[in-house]
Structure 1
Amino acid sequence: MKGPLLILIAGILWGTTGTTQAFASESAHPIAIGAARLAVGGLFLMGIVLATGKLNVTNWPVKRVALASLSMAFYQPLFFTAVTRTGVAIGTVVAIGSTPILSGVIEWLVLKKRPDSIWWCSTFLSILGCLLLFINNESVHVDSMGLIMALGAGLSFAIYTLVSRELVENRSALSVVAVVFTSSAVCLSPFLLLYDMSWIWSIRGAGVSLHLGIMATGIAYLLFARGLIHVSSSAAVSLALAEPLTAALLGVFIVGEYLSVVSWMGVMLLMLGIGILVWSSKGSGVGKEGGGINEKWRQV
């Protein structure tokens, strides 16, 4: 149960992102917020790993680290651009909903491991719940480029999850996320020069940046990485659908948003889908692949 619970907590922390951004200044561009989030998170993680003396980068697979870093760096602008072009509902559903499917397909093709029936059932219920939760909140606007961006965001997170799972098998999870997110922050650093960042120096801006960087990025992804040791990548991204569930509930109880009956049905389906995966972990380990993952990656 340790792995699924760690990933659920990570998903809950990610779910606070939307509510936190609602308190940011109106002058703060979403992509600038994403870049600041990675910068703070990367510095926080690297500071911890240096303070504890656990940083050891000898014999690391450089290509794997670069792939994980680029995947996380691409996810931020792809997701925010998708939401801007095609709306919050469609952008979120396509990006978050496509991630478990893409992860399962990649896992099937790369690791030759076919997801079991429990994963398919829970993922279907969770994606359907996500669809009902968001699709009823605004008028539907479909933009082809926005859809491509959303699918790109889903693919980026799926690749990050699969590669990270390989990295944490033989290395400290703290070292992995510190190196990956510091590298991702460097990749996105040009955005800090392209957008107005004066908002970050206010008390409210600093609070938003610190929460997004430390809690919703540093601690959340550290928990996610440690959970990946015990959980397959496809199951992990399905469990991470706790993010939109948390975001919706925080929107209701903190921001004062209204959820329709259809949206509440989506909440129930999301909880059911996630609950099935957590319940199945008691006896099956939620798709642990064993020690053959490194060999399969080397063959690829």
Structure 2
Amino acid sequence: MAVKTAPLFVLFAAILWGTTGTAQAFAPATAHPIAIGAARLAVGGLFLLLVTLLLGKLNLKSWPIGLTLLAAFCMACYQPLFFSAVHQTGVAVGTVIAIGSAPILSGFLETIFFKRLPSSIWWGATSLSILGCALLFLTGDTVKIKPMGILLALGAGLSFAGYTLLSGQIVQGKNPLETAAVIFGIGGVILMPFLFLFDMQWILQPNGIAVSLHLGIVATAAAYFLFSKGLQQVPASSAVSLSLAEPFTAAVLGVALIGEELNLLSWLGIGMLLGGIVLIAFAPKKK
């Protein structure tokens, strides 16, 4: 894998994640946000495990059990936190806070636990991208600022940062498909009780089936396989910063498919987001 190919895997993964909030907006009205998150992880985890078994890629020898359980727990926490935040604050704000906070939290976690200081390019690009995220708040009267929704989104950002750091350690000695399958398979088991706590009849409706398959197969299985593959060469802090392509995608889809309106400052924010992503994606690799 070429040096500059790895960031593109992370970038493509983030673009696929950017469709999750919009997909939730097309789910049946009776679908609870936590139930949607549980269904996403169940479908995605099962699909990844089936593909891994069919390809004969699953090898559980010398597996880092502790790191894997923690990574699966982080991803299990991310699902209900993210979808609940989006439900309360809207697609744009929920996605921006959740993913926009993740680079800062990831940088601190990486410094504290792995004693690695992010590069100067990371600081500059992340600052530019976060400023762009802040400008995306200015989307007009449709923005809903709810304290609980913001706390849920910050919790999702912390969960995503933790997952990235942990899976980045695991994937160094494992196949990316195998890593994603095991982590999401365990995460799906953790969230399985929620499938029995909420009314799941919505999942049998045509739009419920379509949303569940999209979230599980496209925005989870395919996206996190690409993300795991990118993490083999991209530092966790840079990978989380590249994930800021998610709110960019969410904002564009919100305008194109849901009818949300963005003003001039919001479009400027999108430009800053893209600038930060390009800086990290094509930054020279540290020796």
What amino acid is the match of 1:3?
A
What amino acid is the match of 2:258?
V
1:177 alignment partner in structure 2: 180
What is the distance in 2 between the residues matched to 1:139 and 1:171? 42
What amino acid is the match of 1:259?
L
Q: Is the 8 A contact 1:89 1:135 kept in 2?
A: no
Q: Is the 8 A contact 1:3 1:230 kept in 2?
A: yes
What amino acid is the match of 1:276?
L
1:5–1:150 Cα change, 3 Å: same
1:141 alignment partner in structure 2: 145
Shift of 1:147: 3.8
1:148–1:203 Cα change, 3 Å: closer
1:87–1:255 Cα change, 3 Å: closer
The answer on 1:25 being equivalent to 2:25 is no
What amino acid is the match of 1:4?
P
Shift of 1:79: 2.4
What amino acid is the match of 1:99?
A
What is the distance in 2 between the residues matched to 1:194 and 1:163? 29
1:264 alignment partner in structure 2: 267
1:297 alignment partner in structure 2: none
Structure 1: gaps spanning 5 or more residues? 289-300
What amino acid is the match of 2:189?
V
2:132 alignment partner in structure 1: 129
Q: Is the 8 A contact 1:89 1:140 kept in 2?
A: no
1:277 alignment partner in structure 2: 280
Selected match of 2:240 from 237, 260, 273: 237
Shift of 1:125: 0.9
Shift of 1:268: 0.7
What is the distance in 2 between the residues matched to 1:184 and 1:96? 20
Q: Is the 8 A contact 2:138 2:263 kept in 1?
A: no
The answer on 1:250 being equivalent to 2:250 is no
1:89–1:13 Cα change, 3 Å: closer
Structure 2: gaps spanning 5 or more residues? none
2:19 alignment partner in structure 1: 16
Question: In the TM superposition, what are the counterparts of 1:10-159 in structure 2 within 5 Å?
Answer: 10-84=13-87, 91-137=94-140, 138-139=142-143, 141-143=145-147, 145-159=148-162
Q: Is the 8 A contact 1:90 1:135 kept in 2?
A: no
Backbone CA RMSD of aligned residues: 1.7
1:70–1:123 Cα change, 3 Å: same
Shift of 1:255: 3.0
Task: Point out the more displaced range, 218-227 or 266-275.
Answer: 266-275
* Residues 189-215 of structure 1: CA deviation (Å, up to 9, x unaligned): 111111111111122211111111000
Shift of 1:68: 0.3
Shift of 1:82: 3.6
What's the TM-score once normalised by structure 2's chain length?
Answer: 0.93
The answer on 1:186 being equivalent to 2:189 is yes
Shift of 1:245: 0.4
What amino acid is the match of 2:33?
P
Q: Is the 8 A contact 2:92 2:247 kept in 1?
A: no
What is the distance in 2 between the residues matched to 1:115 and 1:22? 36
* Residues 51-80 of structure 1: CA deviation (Å, up to 9, x unaligned): 011101111111111000000001112223
What's the TM-score once normalised by structure 1's chain length?
Answer: 0.89
Shift of 1:92: 3.5
The answer on 1:205 being equivalent to 2:189 is no
What is the distance in 1 between the residues matched to 2:111 and 2:149? 27
1:295 alignment partner in structure 2: none
What is the distance in 2 between the residues matched to 1:89 and 1:20? 13
Kindly tell me the number of residue pairs found equivalent between the two proteins. 283
1:12–1:139 Cα change, 3 Å: closer
What is the distance in 2 between the residues matched to 1:266 and 1:125? 9
